[in-house]
Amino acid sequence: MMAWAILGGLVLIAGLLGTILLTRARRKAARRPESATTLESRPASRVTVTATPGGSAESGDAVQSLSQQVGGASIAVDAEKRSDADEEAHRISEESRVAAEAEQRHEFWPAETEARHVIEEALTGTEANAPQIAEVLRAAPEAEKSRAANQAGIPAEAGTQRDFEESVFAEEEVARSPEESTATADGEPVLEESRGASDAGSPFTANDATASVETGARSSAEASRVPMESEAPNEADEPQPVPAAENELATGDANRHHEEHPSLNALDDHDDATLATVDEQDDAADPASADGGLHTTVRNSPRRRPPTYRPPTSGPSIPGQRSSSVAMLSPNDGTRFARRASSVALRLTFERGGFWNVRLLPTRPENLPERCSVRTGGGSIELLARDEEWYQDVEVDAMGTLLRSGFVWTEVDSGQEWVFAAGREILVLATGTVHIGFVSTGRLALGRQHAVLCTTSHLAAVEHALRQADCGEWKQFDETDGVPKGWVVLCGLDDGGRARGLVPERAVPQEGDALDVLRPLPDVEISLEGGVPLGYNSWLAGVPPAIRVYGSPDFTRKVLIDAKEATLEDGAYVVAGWDEVGEHQVWCHNVRRSYSLVQVQQRAKSWAEFSFMASDKRGRIAICGPLVRPVGDASQLEEPTEPRHRFAVLASNPVLLGPTPGDVLLAVPPRGIHAQTFLAYPSFAPIWALPVHPLRSSRGVTRVLFVGDSTVPSSPGPPRQSERHTNRAIEQWWQMIRDARKKGLAVEPKHPDVVALWRRYTDLADSLWKTNR
């Protein structure tokens, strides 16, 4: 009994305790029902419910309470999902806002705007819109054509020839618009976005208006994407995987950019983008570098291979002109930095012996020194400046292979790169540059002289294209003529064996292949050639430039100089007064150019370029060109104006005397010269020439020579340099005369007047001797 009582007491206590615990739990749940995260983080197993036979009601409450708690957690999870969705919506709306702002900054045309929206959707992951993108891109050229026609004010359905002519008018306007629309979101201009749509509607060029639309769309895409990417690292602590679509887009951007920028620098971009994609993938794998992941034109390491060459799709480049470079973004802070890739031109010269010399001609970027060391693939070379824009040409081994494979040179100190694109198998070179010989250029131009360098595999196609362009006769030069192995030079020769370039005379429609570089465009160009150019469109009067006009003959029939119709003489245009001093203007078609002829005053100031000690040790003799002038001392070398008398001296009578006591000079022949006569430069006009030692000379042979005029002797003048020197010179003067008289030397010529004059000199010498005693 006692035992049963104890057991019952224990059960009662346990029931009370369970009730208390359940009540507490219920109160806690009632106090914090919204704290789903807390419940979620607390494992359910920690809520221990002990079912007892007498406590079912309490346990049922506990189960209810537990299900309520789980339901609260579910609600909390839904709330979290809603919150994420809100954030996503906010992000999308933010992207739309940024894109809209970018759109406001840029003036897109309707077709481009549509394409941009579609591409933006594709950017945000809606891949289902791909067919729509293609449709918009297909429709774009028509919109581009009609817009170009509207800009030019002509109907779009004009005939072929008219289309072509009017497209030339419209070209400038059409070309300008993409330039205006190619600013990025940060306000920086996108370089070289100009030529893509410039030839829209022209049968002579590959119609690439699609690229123009893509350009506009891509700018917008860039505008919306870059802020996204720059914000992404801030949104998550963990590295975010790069969407495959973005990678593809980056590569696609680069490809399109590549097509629109025929220059080496555009190729740089392509290469940069490719490398950037690789870098980006590396960055994605490396959490530490993920937050620096700009995958635009960012390159932090030296280029490993040259970019691949793509032929130009638009107008000709000027031969020998330095192509502009593409600025790159700093990998660290996104700001622009000064490192730019430069190009290397090719130069062909026809040497004596009938050999071709092929050299590389690197451009000289700004701020690079006159001399620099450059790393190449197989070693290093030293570049020496030729002028402010070019380094001296470089001759390399295995040129044929190098031309095919391309190369990248890197300057050791600054990291400056020079790029020669790979895959070029047809190279056009032209004269008329600042270099002798042929220098690589973009394409054939009407009327200019060219040489074509191509691989042997392309020879037949190249010759066919040259015939189409009416390039006249040419000759093939191969490796036996100095051309790199596997390559052929096509160029003419004149009767004298000089290289005569191929001159295309017919414009040929473009076909969109690699041979387009051999199909001249009908460009009109006013060229001022020859003469003596003085810079700033000025030429030396008397040697004016020849005024030539290049381009399709249909457009170059009428040339005006100073508003007067010019005539063609010897291939150059002239008009009355075209070569007079002053400003002149030349006009042809829609092209205008001015020049001025100026006269330059000659400078008459001489200077001491060389100076040597005079043989008499009494000064220096300066030489400037053919001028030989005595100068007093070093301080007077710049102004050799001291009047002196050039005098031919007989070696037998080297002592010269003037009319004034003290006018005495012992003329010493130049060192090593033993001629019978030599020159002296006394500061007085010599009257007499005496032997060095009159008392020791032979009376029968030696004479006192009269070498001047009949100037009578005068009393001693003012001291010249110092009193002591003057006294000594005076003493020498009368001493020489007295010695000659004492020896009884005859005077020559023996004219009575000369003899009488000599007597007057001897009389003065005697009087001076007496005074001196």
Partner 1 sequence: MSADHLLLWLSAKGEGSWSQFRTAVETLHAEPLSTGGRASGTEEGAAFAANSDLPLYQQLRFALHQLAHVEFQSEERGRRWRVVPPTLAVSYPPRAGALLCGARSPALLDNLLRAADVTVKSSTFDGMPQRFCLEGASHGALVACARSLGLQVQVDAPVAMLSALPQVRDTSVWRHSTIPVTPGWQVHRFSASRLGWLDASQEEAIRARSGLFRFVLKHQRFYYLRSSSRCFRVPVQLGKFAVTRKRRGILAYDREGQTLSALAIFRPPPLIERALVLCSGRVPRFNASTGQVEYSDVPYLVALMAAQLLRQELR
- Which position among 14, 284, 614, 754 is part of the footprint of partner 1 (CB under 8 A)? 614
Alpha carbon 472 to chain centroid distance?
A: 34
What is the smallest separation between the CB atom of 611 and partner 1, expressed in angstroms?
Answer: 9
- Contact between 607 and partner 1 (CB under 8 A)? yes
By C-alpha distance, which of 194, 201, 136 is closest to 168? Answer: 201
CB 655 within 8 A of CB 692: yes
Contacts of 575 (CB under 8 A, 6+ apart): 561, 562, 564, 565, 566, 567
Looking at the Cβ atoms of 156 and 532, the one nearer to partner 1 is 532
Q: Which of 459, 532, 591, 685 binds partner 1 (CB under 8 A)?
A: 532
Does residue 387 contact residue 374 with C-beta atoms inside 8 Å?
A: no
Residue (460 or 675) nearer to partner 1, CB: 675
Structure tokens belonging to residue 389? 């824009």
Please tell me the distance from the alpha carbon of residue 724 to that of residue 718, in angstroms, as a whole number.
Answer: 12
**HSE of 530, CA atoms in CB hemisphere, 13 A:** 9
The verdict on 543 binding partner 1 (CB under 8 A) reads yes
- Cα–Cα distance measured from residue 621 to residue 614, given in angstroms and rounded to the nearest whole number: 6
Give least dist CB 546 to partner 1, A: 12
CA distance 628 to 757: 33
SS (H, E, C) 180-205: HCCECCCCCECCCCCCCCCCCCCCCC
Contact with partner 1 (CB under 8 A) among 673, 712, 746, 756: 673
Question: Is position 628 an interface residue for partner 1 (rule: CB under 8 A)?
Answer: yes
643 near partner 1 (CB under 8 A): no
* Closest separation in Å from C-beta 636 to partner 1: 16
Site membership for partner 1, residue 621 (CB under 8 A): yes
Q: Which stretch binds partner 1 (CB under 8 A): 23-31, 100-108, 180-188, 664-672?
A: 664-672
Nearer to partner 1, 187 or 535 (CB): 535
CB of 574 to partner 1, least distance (A): 17
State the nearest-atom distance from the C-beta of 428 to partner 1, in Å: 20
612 makes contact with partner 1 (CB under 8 A): yes
Q: Does 651 bind partner 1 (CB under 8 A)?
A: no
Among 131, 159, 379, 672, binds partner 1 (CB under 8 A): 672
For residues 234 and 292, the answer to whether their CB atoms sit within 8 Å is no
Contacts of 43 (CB under 8 A, 6+ apart): none
Amino acid identity of residue 376, one-letter, is T
What b/e string do you get for 140-153 counting C-beta neighbours within 10 Å, with b at 16 or more? bbebbbbbbbeebe
Count other Cβ atoms within 10 Å, centred on residue 425: 17
Q: Does residue number 31 form part of the binding site for partner 1 (CB under 8 A)?
A: no
H/E run at residue 255:
helix 244-260
Distance (Å, rounded) from C-alpha 331 to C-alpha 339?
A: 12
Q: Are 735 and 766 a contacting pair, CB within 8 Å? A: no
**Stretches 8-16, 72-80, 134-142, 670-678: which one binds partner 1 (CB under 8 A)?**
670-678
Is residue 278 near partner 1 by the rule CB under 8 A?
no
Least separation in angstroms between CB 686 and partner 1: 16
For 382-427, the three-class secondary structure string (H helix, E strand, C coil) is EEEECCCCEECCECCCCHHHHHHHCEEEEECCCCCEEEECECCCEE
DSSP state of 445: B
Between 626 and 700, CB nearer to partner 1: 626
Q: Are 326 and 191 in contact (CB under 8 A)?
A: yes
Closest distance of CB 138 from partner 1, Å:
50
At closest approach, how far in Å is the CB of 649 from partner 1? 10
- Is 542 one of the binding residues for partner 1 (CB under 8 A)? yes
Stretch that binds partner 1, among 46-54, 297-305, 609-617, 710-718 (CB under 8 A): 609-617
| Residue 609 binds to partner 1 (criterion: CB under 8 A) | yes
- Work out which of 47, 156, 385, 396 binds partner 1, going by CB under 8 A: 385
- Does 533 sit near partner 1 (CB under 8 A)? yes
Written in H, E and C, the secondary structure of 74-92 is: HHHHHHHHHHHHHHHHHHH
Task: Give CA angle at 499 (493, 505), nearest 5°.
Answer: 75
190-217: burial string, b at 16+ Cβ within 10 Å, e else: bbbbbbbbbbbbbebbbbbbbbbbbbbb
For partner 1, the binding residue among 247, 321, 606, 735 (CB under 8 A) is: 606
Closest distance between partner 1 and the C-beta of residue 680, in Å? 8
**Binding flags for partner 1, 565-604, as an x/- string (CB under 8 A):** ----------------------------------xx-xxx
Nearer to partner 1, 153 or 542 (CB): 542
- Give me the least distance between CB of 615 and partner 1, in Å please: 8
**Smallest distance, partner 1 to C-beta of residue 382, A:** 7
Q: CA–CA separation, 507 vs 204, rounded Å?
A: 8
Specify the stretch interacting with partner 1 by CB under 8 A; choose among 22-30, 204-212, 321-329, 608-616.
608-616
Contact set for partner 1, span 487-516 (CB under 8 A): 496-499
User: How far is it, in rounded angstroms, from Cα 684 to Cα 759?
Assistant: 21
The closest alpha carbon to 371, from 380, 360, 361, 383, belongs to 383
Nearer to partner 1, 388 or 570 (CB): 388
Binding to partner 1 (CB under 8 A) within 686-745 occurs at: none
The DSSP secondary-structure symbol of 635 reads G
What's the length of the chain?
A: 773
- For position 384 contacting partner 1 by CB under 8 A, the verdict is yes
Binding to partner 1, residues 400-459 (CB under 8 A): 434-436
Smallest separation, CB 160 to partner 1 (Å): 40
Q: Does 646 bind partner 1 (CB under 8 A)?
A: yes
x/- map, 230-269, partner 1, by CB under 8 A: ----------------------------------------
Instruction: Rule CB under 8 A: choose which of 159, 625, 643, 744 binds partner 1.
Output: 625
The identity of residue 583, as a single letter, is E
70 in contact with partner 1 (CB under 8 A) = no
Query: C-beta of 137: minimal distance to partner 1 in Å?
Result: 47
The β-bridge partners of 539 are 533, 597
Q: Which is nearer to partner 1, 122 or 503 (CB)?
A: 503
Give the H/E segment covering residue 340.
strand 336-351
Residue selected from 400, 486, 530, 719 as contacting partner 1 according to rule CB under 8 A: 530
Size of the site for partner 1 (CB under 8 A): 60
Question: Residue 351, interface with partner 1 (CB under 8 A)?
Answer: yes
Q: With respect to partner 1, which residue has the nearer C-beta, 231 or 642? A: 642
CA 743 from centre of chain: 82
Element (H, E) at 627: strand 627-631
Residues 176-235 close enough to bind partner 1 by CB under 8 A: none
Torsion angle, alpha carbons of 708, 710, 712, 714, to 10? -40
Give the pairing of strands 572-574 and 567-569. antiparallel
- Among residues 553, 462, 459, 466, the alpha carbon closest in space to that of 502 is found at 466
CB of 320 to partner 1, least distance (A): 10
Residues 111-140: x where in contact with partner 1 by CB under 8 A, - otherwise, as a string = ------------------------------
318 lines the binding site for partner 1 (CB under 8 A): no
Q: Name which of 399, 403, 413 is nearest 369 in CA terms.
A: 413
If one asks whether residue 624 binds partner 1 (CB under 8 A), the answer comes out as: yes
Q: Which residues bind partner 1 (CB under 8 A)?
A: 350-354, 370, 382, 384-388, 434-436, 496-499, 530-534, 540-543, 599-600, 602-607, 609-610, 612-615, 621, 623-628, 646, 648, 670-675, 677-679
